[in-house]
Chains A and B, each alone.
Chain A
Amino acid sequence: MKLLQQPGETIAYLWAVPGTCLGSLLLSPLRHYVDLSNVALLYVLWVVLMAVTYGRGPAVATALLASLAYAYFFVPPHFSLAITEGQYLLAAVIMLVVAMMVSHLTSRLKQIADFASRKSIESTKLYQLTQELAGATTPETVIDLASRFLAVSYRASQVRVYMPSEFNSTSGQTNPALLNRCAERQELLSRPTSQGKFYALVPLMAGSGNQGILGFEVESAILGSQDAVEHIETVASVVAVALERSYFAEKARQTEIKHAAETLRNSILAALSHDLRTPLTALVGMAEAVAMGKVPVEKHRQTLDAIRNQAVSIGQQMTKLLDMAKLSAGKFELVRDWQPVEEVIGVTLQQVRAQWHDREVTVSLARDLPPINIDAVLIERVLWNLIENAIKYSPADAPVDLRVNAVGEEMEISVCDSGCGIPAKNGDKLFDLFQRGKSESGIPGVGLGLSIAKTIVEAHGGTIAARNRENGGSCFSIRIPLGNPPHFEEMDEPS
């Protein structure tokens, strides 16, 4: 801090020494017109000005010089330091004493004012840090904020926090013994490093105990200042509280995740044990019946067909479980491409026809639909799941309607059936994992279709909604933002 004031101090002494001399010299021709006591007051005024502006040192220098100049230039005999009359000597001495006292008082006042304003800046900064720390939810952010604060306020480098668990495995800037002593004594410890710097360790104490130790390297001057050390300790306690809080927050989040995973695992187990084991039992039963000759020959064909259908259905459930596992791992990436929506719909209908040969699906496409930016493979899964649901939950002779419209800035694809509709109590849970319209019902499935659809549609920035139709049945609609299809230049000629 001293170094910084160097140029300011040079200017102060320039004013004090040559300024006083020059002023006195310029004023000296007026000695016959101005009363000697007024001259003394003029010098006192000058000393006060210097004290207010530059503080004690320059003021004292000015006071000494002023008394000398007063004696030299103004007290007869002129241009001599000799003072013949006793009262002139008294005046010079009083002037010196007054000048010294005033300079002392004003410079102290200035010091106090400076101290107050520095403290106010420090507390503003501390308040800012506290505010920032309040927003930090992970230990990493807390440590990062503290590092930045110390770097800006104290030009500290190599800031890091040593966790209690790593005290005994530390090397480099510090060692286990120093860390343990710091934690035990709960006070700031430091040791010298190269280039006159010190590596300081501050314990981070909070309500639930030691949160770790804050280590950083600073100039030795900072650790020598009681103010700075107190401020650093205050910062450390604020950081400690923030760290403690972030650990608790992290712990709470982990517990929540664990809980969610637990719930998911239970649902998967329940789904697998009922929804897959039931058809599997039937499958094994039918196969054994044929193998043991319990099925009359004329019914073989029929039984084998049933076995095949059952196996295909189990295969589809497995596909959904795998899809969901892939989607909920959160690592899937959309392979988006601009494409006509008809293409995806065409593929879905082709699959539907392969599975339900004579089930009627009516399609109505609005005219001039723009291309849409989607991952076709995933959107096809969405449409398949919606149509499969519609077919499963409605009478065999009722057609399923598929409609595509542009609604505002979105494309809406609706799949409507004339089945039993959505039970009101299930409304909001409909898209949750392993939710089924009717649990324990005879309709095969594991309750994944809608959940998969929702995940995929939302990954596209879209929405999915369900509603009951007025005259029975339900409608599931997905909406996907249209975006701005790229301009396409056709460079084609008639052949």
Chain B
Amino acid sequence: MTDAETILIVEDEQQIREAVAMALGCEGFVVCEAGTARHAAVQAAARKPNLVILDLGLPDRDGVDFIRDFRAWSSTPILILSARSEESSKVDALDAGADDYLTKPFGIAELLARVRALLRRRQPDLQAAEPTLQFGDYLVDCVNRVVTRAGCVVHLTQIEYRLLAFLAANPGRVLTHRHLLTQVWGGQAAENHQYLRVYVGHLRQKVEDNPAQPRHIITEIGVGYRFQP
């Protein structure tokens, strides 16, 4: 990419907006700001940002509704900023199509890391030609449905394979329990959270060096899982 990437910050608290804008500006991103959902919709349509940073507690509209409308026409990644009191709307927002979240107060270093991860993931055309996924010393061959670690085959069951392949295809993104269950098991299993926990447990046993302190399949407590390559 030769052009600098554009990031839209939607946040009604001016101090947070300015702090985030300053940090992103220093990193070389083009930043545009909005304080309301209405202004954000106008900005998003006009500037076509590469990433949206969205505060869930907007004065004029529910953030989750904004995400639903936005997802109707754009697949641009969305990073949510949420206060601690908004636990449940965080999950709703992720289910509605947001990609990741940060809980206030957050550090700038962490924000930048998340932003970079989301922007990296946003360029699927670079990887589309390769039907393989790679992380650590693992290789997932999506054609032959085989997972190898440093050349040795890792024996996975069908569901474990589907789970791992889906996680690995969405690195850095927070996947809610519901999202994973509908993607891997199908819609009828959407509420069977313990199903998912058991299989994630199995998968960690086979993939992680220390299943109690995982490196790749990270638990986002009360929300879902995040895959870290």
- Does residue B116 face the partner (Cβ distance < 8 Å to A)? no
Q: Contacts A322-B84, A322-B85 known; A486 to B158 CB distance under 8 Å?
A: no
Q: Tell me the total A-B contact number using a CB cutoff of 8 A.
A: 73
Q: Contacts A377-B222, A380-B221 known; A494 to B194 CB distance under 8 Å?
A: no
- Does residue A69 face the partner (Cβ distance < 8 Å to B)? no
User: Across the interface, which residues of B come within 8 angstroms of A350, CB to CB?
Assistant: 213, 218
Bound: A319/B103 CA distance, A: 12
Q: Contacts A338-B197, A349-B213, A495-B145 known; A344 to B158 CB distance under 8 Å?
A: no
- Does residue A178 face the partner (Cβ distance < 8 Å to B)? no
Bound: A315/B83 CA distance, A: 12
- Does residue B159 face the partner (Cβ distance < 8 Å to A)? yes
What 1/0 flags go to A430-467 for Cβ under 8 Å of B? 00000000000000000000000000000000000000
Q: Is the CB of A492 within 8 A of B160?
A: yes
Bound: A347/B145 CA distance, A: 30
Bound: A494/B201 CA distance, A: 17
User: Across the interface, which residues of B come within 8 angstroms of A493, CB to CB?
Assistant: 157-158
Whole-angstrom distance between the Cβ of B22 and the nearest chain A Cβ: 15
Residue of A nearest to B105 (CB): A315
Q: How many residues of B contact A (CB 8 A)?
A: 28
Specify which of B161, B211, B222 is in contact with A495 (CB 8 Å cutoff): B161
User: Across the interface, which residues of B come within 8 angstroms of A495, CB to CB?
Assistant: 145, 156-158, 160-161
What 1/0 flags go to B93-118 for Cβ under 8 Å of A? 00000000000010100000000000
Q: Which of B157, B161, B201, B222 has the most CB of A within 10 A?
A: B222
Q: Is the CB of A376 within 8 A of B222?
A: yes
Specify which of B107, B200, B221 is in contact with A377 (CB 8 Å cutoff): B221
User: Across the interface, which residues of A come within 8 angstroms of B160, CB to CB?
Assistant: 492, 495
Whole-angstrom distance between the Cβ of A344 and the nearest chain B Cβ: 7
- Does residue A371 face the partner (Cβ distance < 8 Å to B)? yes
Residue of A nearest to B157 (CB): A492
What 1/0 flags go to A481-495 for Cβ under 8 Å of B? 000001010101111
Report B156-214 residues with CB < 8 Å from chain A CB.
156-161, 193-195, 197-198, 200-201, 211-214
Q: Contacts A340-B201, A346-B212 known; A486 to B145 CB distance under 8 Å?
A: no
Q: Is the CB of A319 within 8 A of B84?
A: yes
Whole-angstrom distance between the Cβ of B195 and the nearest chain A Cβ: 8
- Does residue B87 face the partner (Cβ distance < 8 Å to A)? yes
Binding site for B on A (CB under 8 A): 308, 311-312, 315, 319, 322, 335, 337-340, 342-347, 349-350, 363, 365, 371, 376-377, 380, 486, 488, 490, 492-495
- Nearest first, the 7 A-B pairs at minimum CB distance are A377-B222, A492-B157, A495-B158, A495-B161, A338-B194, A342-B212, A347-B221
Given A339-B193, A345-B212, A346-B214, 4 more A-B residue pairs with CB atoms under 8 Å apart are A343-B200, A346-B213, A377-B221, A492-B160
